[in-house]
Each structure stands twice: as structure tokens, then as C-alpha cells.
């Protein structure tokens, strides 16, 4: 496996398309809402999330004050095949710090250390690394030296240090994507296919799902905090 860093210019079209296909194949894992495929709204996120990540990638090397970088892992046996990626935002005022936006490894290439190598390269460049993840992924990141700091919405906040950086990192405003005519058209198509009642039910199911994930993430982070603070 080889890893290429894109920090001055975005990757070529063929590579970018493979990265976005990898996103599309891992919507539930990558989405902050962890939208399950069984939910009728899943189709909207299957369009919106690759669009969001594509917007991040298109900004690589464009605005020095709001940097975005990308690490892409390639298969040695098929050098042009993307088998993993890690998208992150360095903190301009604190060169040692960055925040991970998204990371995914191709299903067929998991358990080969690709995610570990991507993270190690990142931490080597930015030793003060922060990210959010689903509870089930905490052990993986702990194995790389990250610790639980808090929770954020449905996910757990982890960092290589005991506190977040005081610097600011660029975060894409995704509201135009989810308020776009494309999303509206997707939603209208789903209503025509499944009916308004079914779509309303799907929205309520997703709301309950997200609320439950948020409660679990907070409880998990609180328990870890108490365990750290408890006297031996």
C-alpha cells in the first residue's frame, strides 16, 4: 500500500470519483446521523454526503486561511485503485493541530492496517489531532493513542492530547447542500414513490435514532470522564 498526500491541488478526476464512491458505499459509517439503509431518507444522504465531501476536496489548495488536505491510500497490486482515504482540516494558526473530517477504508481491504497507516501518517504531520467517531470505533482510535474528551451530537470526541486546540479550523457550511433543489427533488421523488405518510414516519424514525445515538454518546463520554477522575 502507498499513501499520497494532496495539499496543494485536488486529486485527478479518476481518483476523486473513487474517493466519492467509497463515501457512497459507507454512508451509515460516515454520516453524523448514522442513517441506516432501511430508512427511506437514506437515499437523500447517499447523494448529499458525497456532494459535501466533494466540496471539501475541491477546496484543497484554494484558500490558505482555510486549508483542507486529503490522504489517499492505493493498492500496491493495482496502483490506481483507491482503497482508503482520510480528509482533514489543518489549523492554520497551530501547525501541529488538525481535525479529521472523514475517513473510510474499502470493505474488501479492511483489517490490513490501512486505516492505521493513514492515521499514523496524519498524526506524524499533526501530533495534535482531534476527531469525532461512533462509539464502536473508540477502541481503534485508542490503540493509536487518542483519548475520549467529550461527546458531540451523536459521536464521541477524541484527541491525541487532553484538550482541544485553541485554534480554529475551517468547517464547510453544509446547509446549502441540504436546502438545495437537488435534495428537494430527491425528497419529492421519494414522496411520490412511498407516500407522504411513509416519509413522515421515516423522518420521525430518524429523529428518534439520532436522539438515541446522542444520549449514548454523552453517557459513554461522561462514564469515561468519571473513570479518569476517580481516585485509585
CATH code of the domain in which 95 resides: 3.40.630.30
With contact defined as beta carbons under 8 Å apart, do 96 and 122 qualify?
Answer: no
Domain extent for 125: 2-229
pLDDT in tens, 135-181: 999 999 999 999 999 999 999 999 999 999 999 988 889 999 999 99
Tell me, rounded to whole angstroms, the distance of Cα 98 from its chain centroid. 14
Q: Count up the domains in the chain and report the number.
A: 1
pTM of the model: 0.95
Answer whether residue 83 shows pLDDT above 90. Answer: yes
Nearest Cα neighbor of 117 from 83, 160, 92 is 83
State how far the Cα of 147 lies from the Cα of 120, in Å rounded to an integer: 15
Find all residues with CB under 8 Å of 175, minimum gap 6, and list them: none
- Residues 196-228 have pLDDT tens digits of 999 999 999 999 999 999 999 999 999 998 887
Amino acid at each position: 500500500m502507498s499513501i499520497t498526500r494532496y495539499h496543494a491541488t485536488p486529486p485527478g478526476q479518476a481518483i476523486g470519483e473513487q474517493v466519492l464512491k467509497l463515501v457512497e458505499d459507507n454512508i451509515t459509517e460516515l454520516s453524523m446521523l448514522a442513517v441506516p439503509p432501511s430508512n427511506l431518507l437514506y437515499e437523500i444522504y447517499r447523494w448529499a454526503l458525497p456532494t459535501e465531501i466533494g466540496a471539501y476536496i475541491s477546496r484543497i489548495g484554494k484558500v490558505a486561511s482555510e486549508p483542507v488536505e486529503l490522504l489517499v491510500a492505493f493498492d500496491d497490486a493495482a496502483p490506481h485503485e483507491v482503497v482508503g482515504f482520510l480528509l482533514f482540516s489543518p489549523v492554520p494558526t497551530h501547525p501541529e493541530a488538525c481535525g479529521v473530517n472523514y475517513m473510510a477504508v474499502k470493505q474488501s481491504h479492511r483489517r490490513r492496517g490501512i486505516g492505521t497507516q493513514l492515521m499514523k501518517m496524519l498524526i506524524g504531520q499533526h501530533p495534535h489531532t482531534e476527531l469525532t467517531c461512533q462509539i464502536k470505533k473508540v477502541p481503534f482510535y485508542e490503540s493509536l493513542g487518542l483519548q475520549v474528551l467529550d461527546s458531540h451530537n451523536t459521536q464521541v470526541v477524541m484527541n491525541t492530547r487532553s484538550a482541544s486546540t485553541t485554534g480554529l479550523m475551517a468547517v464547510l457550511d453544509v446547509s446549502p447542500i441540504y436546502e438545495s433543489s437537488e435534495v428537494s427533488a430527491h425528497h419529492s421523488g421519494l414522496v411520490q414513490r412511498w407516500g407522504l405518510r411513509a416519509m413522515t414516519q421515516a423522518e420521525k424514525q430518524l429523529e428518534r435514532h439520532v436522539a438515541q445515538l446522542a444520549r449514548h454518546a454523552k453517557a459513554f463520554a461522561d462514564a469515561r470522564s468519571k473513570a479518569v477522575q476517580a481516585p485509585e
